[in-house]
């Protein structure tokens, strides 16, 4: 095959052309029809606040203008919401986009980075994209292992160490005290990336107190999950002001669409709707657990908007169940690494979507057992 005329960097030339996730749309195109239930992408199918929808609709008439490159209104609203200064908040194109900026800001070829084996693959994708060397530690009892992560970071002299709390893909979580001890133990010269994408769904006492003066941690939040705005791509980071300011050296200043900015502002202002969504998700998690038990399976406790269903055997059997569900028009996903890949992962969907899952699961299990 003829190589591209463009002179790729040696690093880019060495990397595979890939994406961390195959989207449901890609699968629908290959199948020739849509899924009946979209329960695999950790999306909030209850949707955004009606106030956010109205705000985005109103903002559409002004989409001929670029979005405010400083995200001034949203940063100040988030600062007031969290009781911190706007200088401690960065707004970006979802947590994924901010992770990419963080990699560009800190990672040079050969720099060491630590994460959990099987944890959020988009972080790994960005590390590879900037030439970082990824070191991993295994999960312990289906939880990420803070002690092992810190020990590995110290061993290899890591620049970054990543943990999600609550976790993706298992939905498990650690207490605020456990995470604070992890922050306190971060080695010199290392930065803890604390991904809190699902924090609104978690029990009280999961998130450590915000300490914006602590240089050892950067915390990631999003409007994609509890606020139901995954397609709008609005995320934010909270950290020491000096680190937040450094992002202005490399970020895409016009990366945020003004429609997304308006929607996020309205969503943040509608906390009663957020509370309603959190309640609906809790009900959906309980329904998924009951569906699993009705079929002789078990689930992992979850503090997210998805549930990991333990298929009770190995990864091959879980993949067979997943394939059968997809054949029955139910889009789901599964963890990538053992032993977590004995599970499939089901988004906490609306009642009608879970009715479809409840109907499909016994058929999928029967076919997988043949």
How far CA 42 is from CA of 12, 38, 46, 282, in Å, comes to: 30, 9, 12, 14
The DSSP code sequence of 121-165 is HHHHHHHHHTT-EEEEE--BTTB--HHHHHHHHHHHT-SEEEEES
Instruction: Write out the two tokens for 78.
Output: 């988030």
Q: Residue 1 above 70 pLDDT?
A: no
If 0-12 CB within 10 Å is exposed, 13-18 middle and 19+ buried, where does residue 319 land?
middle
Residue 239: domain span: 50-269
Shared domain check, 261 and 276:
no
Q: Is residue 243 part of a domain?
A: yes
Shared domain check, 293 and 153:
no
What is the number of other CB atoms lying within 10 angstroms of the CB of residue 231?
12
> Taking a C-beta distance cutoff of 8 angstroms, is the pair 224, 263 a contact?
no
- What gap in Å lies between CA 105 and CA 251, rounded to an integer? 9
pLDDT tens digit sequence for 84-132: 999 999 999 999 999 999 999 999 999 999 999 999 999 999 999 999 9
The widest CA-to-CA distance across the chain, in whole angstroms, is: 59
C-alpha torsion angle, residues 64, 98, 301, 151 (rounded to 10):
180
Reported as a pLDDT band with limits 50, 70 and 90, residue 2 is low
Q: Is residue 370 part of a domain?
A: no
> Taking a C-beta distance cutoff of 8 angstroms, is the pair 245, 70 a contact?
no
pLDDT of residue 248: 97
Q: Is residue 13 part of a domain?
A: no
Ramachandran angles phi, psi of 302, nearest 5°:
-130, 140
Q: Which of 274, 259, 276 is nearest to 55 (CA)?
A: 259
Q: Is residue 8 part of a domain?
A: no
pLDDT of residue 3: 67
Q: Which of 302, 298, 293, 316 is nearest to 347 (CA)?
A: 302
Shared domain check, 235 and 210:
yes
Of 207, 235, 269, the domain-final residue: 269
Q: Is residue 117 part of a domain?
A: yes
Provide the 8-state DSSP code for 168: T
- The single residue listed with the structure tokens 């020739």 is 32
Of 249, 269, 289, the domain-final residue: 269
Of 220, 243, 269, the domain-final residue: 269
How far CA 70 is from CA of 236, 259, 273, 281, in Å, comes to: 13, 15, 27, 33
Shared domain check, 303 and 361:
yes
Shared domain check, 231 and 122:
yes
Shared domain check, 175 and 77:
yes
Shared domain check, 75 and 43:
no
CATH of the domain at 40: 3.90.1150.10
Q: Is residue 180 part of a domain?
A: yes
pLDDT of residue 260: 98
Shared domain check, 327 and 200:
no
pLDDT tens digit sequence for 64-86: 999 999 999 999 999 999 999 99
Q: Is residue 4 part of a domain?
A: no
CATH of the domain at 237: 3.40.640.10
- What gap in Å lies between CA 140 and CA 115, rounded to an integer? 13
Shared domain check, 107 and 251:
yes
- The single residue listed with the structure tokens 């200064």 is 85
Q: Which of 219, 144, 139 is nearest to 174 (CA)?
A: 144
For 370, the 3-state DSSP assignment is coil
> Taking a C-beta distance cutoff of 8 angstroms, is the pair 303, 206 a contact?
yes
Radius of gyration for the alpha carbons in the chain, expressed in angstroms and rounded? 21
What is the number of other CB atoms lying within 10 angstroms of the CB of residue 312?
16
Shared domain check, 125 and 59:
yes
Cis peptide preceding 238, ω within 30 of 0: no
Reported as a pLDDT band with limits 50, 70 and 90, residue 5 is confident
> Taking a C-beta distance cutoff of 8 angstroms, is the pair 282, 307 a contact?
no
- What gap in Å lies between CA 58 and CA 52, rounded to an integer? 10
> Taking a C-beta distance cutoff of 8 angstroms, is the pair 347, 39 a contact?
yes
Shared domain check, 205 and 59:
yes
Q: What is the mean pLDDT of the chain?
A: 97
Mean pLDDT confidence for 169-198: 98
Shared domain check, 99 and 243:
yes
The pTM assigned to this predicted structure is: 0.96
Q: Is residue 69 part of a domain?
A: yes
For the chain, the domain total comes to: 2
Cis peptide preceding 235, ω within 30 of 0: no
């Amino acid at each position: 095959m003829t190589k591209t005329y463009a002179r790729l960097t040696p690093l880019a030339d060495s990397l595979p052309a890939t994406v961390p996730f195959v989207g449901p749309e890609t699968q629908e195109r290959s199948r020739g029809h849509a899924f009946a239930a979209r329960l695999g992408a950790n999306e909030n199918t209850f949707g955004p606040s009606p106030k956010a929808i109205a705000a985005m609709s109103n903002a559409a008439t002004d989409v001929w203008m670029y979005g405010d490159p400083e995200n001034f209104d949203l940063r100040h609203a988030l600062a007031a919401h969290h009781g911190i200064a706007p200088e401690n908040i960065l707004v970006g194109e979802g947590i994924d986009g901010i992770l990419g900026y963080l990699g560009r800001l800190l990672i040079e070829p050969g720099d060491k980075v630590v994460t959990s084996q099987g944890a959020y693959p988009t972080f790994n994708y960005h590390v590879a994209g900037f030439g970082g060397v990824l070191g991993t530690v295994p999960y312990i009892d289906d939880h990420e292992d803070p002690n092992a992560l810190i020990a590995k970071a110290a061993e290899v002299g890591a620049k970054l160490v990543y943990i999600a709390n609550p976790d993706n893909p298992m939905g498990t979580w650690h207490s605020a005290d456990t995470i604070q001890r992890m922050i306190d133990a971060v080695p010199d010269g290392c930065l803890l990336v604390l991904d809190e994408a699902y924090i609104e769904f978690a029990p009280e006492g999961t998130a450590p107190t915000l300490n914006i003066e602590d240089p050892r941690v950067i915390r990631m939040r999003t409007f994609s999950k509890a606020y139901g705005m995954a397609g709008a791509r609005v995320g934010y980071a909270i950290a020491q002001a000096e680190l937040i300011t450094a992002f202005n050296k490399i970020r895409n200043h016009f990366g945020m669409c003004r429609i997304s900015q308006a929607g996020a502002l309205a969503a943040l202002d509608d906390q009663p709707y957020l509370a309603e969504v959190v309640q609906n998700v809790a009900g959906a998690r309980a329904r998924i657990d009951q569906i699993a038990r009705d079929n002789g399976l078990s689930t992992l406790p979850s503090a997210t908007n998805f549930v990991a269903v333990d298929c009770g055997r190995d990864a091959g059997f879980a993949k067979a169940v997943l394939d059968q569900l997809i054949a029955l028009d139910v889009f789901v996903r599964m963890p990538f690494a053992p032993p977590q890949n004995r599970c499939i992962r089901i988004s906490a969907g609306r009642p009608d979507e879970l009715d479809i899952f409840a109907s499909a699961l016994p058929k999928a299990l029967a076919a997988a057992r043949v």
